[in-house]
A and B are shown apart, each in its own frame.
Chain A
């Protein structure tokens, strides 16, 4: 089981002191491409995208199961309660320095960008996975991840 989507510290925390410049770089990577894409949309008519479907996203989530689970920390952090969580911010999980310093919160946009190119958005993340390149698959997966309920108390 797997080099998993070898995904490891995909979900988590706020920037530490001394790492603000790295967080800034991550944020620039996170937002630069969507802005460029928005400009492109004005010029190139795109095919109508299907509405994000959490059920399809759950099937795509199977690809993540070598490293992640909804309720349990694995090689990667658990995904329950992901919406609104700070990148690298799940208490008790051993994130990479890069993810702890990422400096953003998980939402539809940040998940979409990260899952398209994890190492491009957060260089140094241990989620050594090429990314979900298909836009619709990514939208569906993000919809599923954002639908997950908060983690049950332990």
Chain B
């Protein structure tokens, strides 16, 4: 962490933004302001919570609980990762606000995943006592954003790979709604890095 503090004295390296009139992306500041209004849909949370009764003791299986628990473990790690970023001293407003907001989304995901696991008769995994993040490589705001973007991109792939495995289609639908939220995080973080926020037509 001492390395991180030292490097705070250095000017932040911000990649060149694509031109605003390119039509490809929004201006960075307005994009971030817009992102601040994004919230995980209450309907999405209700969808996951609401499927508990349908899933409990019926089509949801131990396999579904395992999928939910793996997702929960990843969400808990994401919460911890954003905490590291927020406490690094490297994030400037409005990026810091964005990170805190995204962390809040992951907390919402984790809460509803844990609740669903319990309602299905399973035991939700706990957060680890410690996480092993590459903090020695996070020396600028862009390093933190890049790290977070990688996690979010991986999360999109992870949910995409989990959706077809659910026995209960309501759970699959709910997981897809979280996937959508993670994809928005990834796009906003890419934009904040000066990258094309939506580089491809399909995610994989």
Contact = CB atoms under 8 A, between A and B. Distances in A.
A2 B67 contact: no
Interface string A50-70: 000000000000111111110
Contacts of B71: 2-4, 6, 128
A8 interface: yes
Interface residues of A, number: 29
A127 B165 CA distance: 11
Contact of A74 (B67, B132, B156, B165): B132
A82 to B, nearest CB: 17
A7 B158 CA distance: 7
A63 B159 contact: no
A31 B31 CA distance: 51
Contacts, number: 133
Interface residues of B, number: 38
A73 B128 CA distance: 12
A72 interface: yes
Given A72-B133, A126-B66, A5 B165 contact: no
Given A2-B71, A3-B175, A75-B73, A65 B151 contact: yes
B179 to A, nearest CB: 8
Given A62-B153, A128-B165, A130-B161, A4 B134 contact: no
Interface of A: 1-8, 62-69, 71-75, 119, 124, 126-131
Interface of B: 63, 66-71, 73-75, 77-78, 81, 106, 131-134, 150-165, 175, 178, 182, 204
The 3 closest A-B pairs by CB, nearest first: A3-B71, A2-B155, A65-B154
Given A67-B70, A128-B161, 8 more contacts: A1-B152, A3-B67, A4-B70, A5-B161, A6-B159, A66-B153, A67-B74, A130-B161
